[in-house]
Amino acid sequence: MLSGLGAALFALVVAAAVSTAVGTRAVPLSRVVDSLFHFDPHNVDHLAIWELRLPRTVLGVLAGAALGLAGAVMQGVTRNPLADPGILGVNAGAALFVVAGIDIFGITALTGYVWFGLVGAALAACLVYAVSSLGRGGATPIKLALSGAAVSAALTSLITAILLIDADAFDQFRFWRVGSLAGRDGAVIRQALPFLAVGAVLALASGRMLNALALGEDTARSLGQHVNRGRMLAALSVVLLCGAATAMCGPIAFIGLTVPHLARLITGPDYRWILPYSMLLAPFLLLVADIVGRLAVRPSELQVGLMTPVIGAPVFVLLVRGRKLAEL
């Protein structure tokens, strides 16, 4: 397993290097290497590397790792192989508050989107958990999924209503909504980094609990697990990870859904290995999608939010065809 993690880490490093070296602007590889070790602020190519490509690559690594971890945790908590981070209403909650920030408070900077997106993601997840906790049995996996779908639909309708009324808000929101790694700077990453770090620690620490939960709640309790507390901490990790990634980049599909299945093919059902594998494989897939988007229509580019379904959907179909979802 450790050798596989090493291979995944090596693949991620290679993808990050290619992401730094490749773009719509042609820069010789020797100049890319020179910019990393001998930065010249007066050199246009060096500025392109440090101010555009490096932040974009770092953002891709962080957002991809966050989405991969969040997807794996969500599939474990809900015991649903088709779950992704949006099942808690996180994406819809973040989007609603970003729209509200644009429409009500006139927020135009990405650094402002981060805070609104995080608050919206947290409140939406709390609402989903509160709704699913009503009635007998508490927040069961099925009730979580149904509550998440209902809350997401309601929040999406509110977003649509606001955007139909305010054309200016729609113009600003649509650039965030498509999902992109471009145009983000270090300030956005620094704001989201503490939330990503805490979320990653909580997610990685939930592996043993998710393994026990996969055997059923009664079995998990007999093994000494505090199911409700563990589920809440896992849900908190999803809110922090997916909320921060969505606030930084906009909604990005298929990463959180596809990568945990790919990790299971390598590791089996043990979440103590699924989680770190997902954390490395997801940013690799995200960076590959971003690189393909940059090269597909040069000198223009396609945003990564458009490319991940194009690349992720065939991969997911192959995974489903190769192995029954119930066995994943």
Model pLDDT for residues 277-302, shown as the tens digit of each residue: 999 999 999 999 999 888 887 777 88
Q: Which residue has the higher pLDDT, 10 or 295?
A: 10
- Tally of helices (H runs) and strands (E runs) in the chain: 15, 0
Q: Which of 179-183, 271-275, 282-286 has the lowest mean pLDDT?
A: 179-183
Query: Residue 305: which CATH number?
Result: 1.10.3470.10
Question: Once rounded to an integer, what is the mean pLDDT over residues 83-89?
Answer: 74
The answer to whether residue 44 sits within a structural domain is: no
The pTM of the full predicted model, rounded to 2 decimals, is 0.87
Per the model's pLDDT, the better-predicted residue between 6 and 327 turns out to be 6
Q: How confident is the model at residue 323 (pLDDT cuts 50, 70, 90)?
A: low
Q: How do residues 56-70 score in pLDDT, each as one tens digit?
A: 999 999 999 999 999
pLDDT at residue 325 in the model: 46
User: How much is the pLDDT for 328?
Assistant: 46
Assess if residue 25 is contained within a domain.
no
Q: Which domain holds residue 89?
A: 2-13+59-327
Considering just the CA atoms, what is the radius of gyration of the chain in Å?
20
Does 145 reside within a domain? Answer: yes
Establish if 22 belongs to a structural domain: no
Q: How many structural domains does the chain have?
A: 1
Please give the mean pLDDT across all residues of the chain: 84
Q: Which residue has the higher pLDDT, 129 or 240?
A: 240
Does the residue 35 lie in any domain?
A: no
Q: What is the pLDDT of residues 28-46, one digit of tens each?
A: 777 778 887 888 888 887 8
- Confirm whether 46 is domain-assigned: no
Measured distance CA(202)–CA(271) in Å, rounded: 13
Check pLDDT > 50 for residue 326: no
Q: Is residue 47 part of a domain?
A: no
Q: Is residue 231 part of a domain?
A: yes
Give the burial class of 152: count Cβ atoms within 10 A of its Cβ; 0-12 exposed, 13-18 middle, 19 or more buried.
buried
C-alpha span between 11 and 7 (Å, rounded): 6
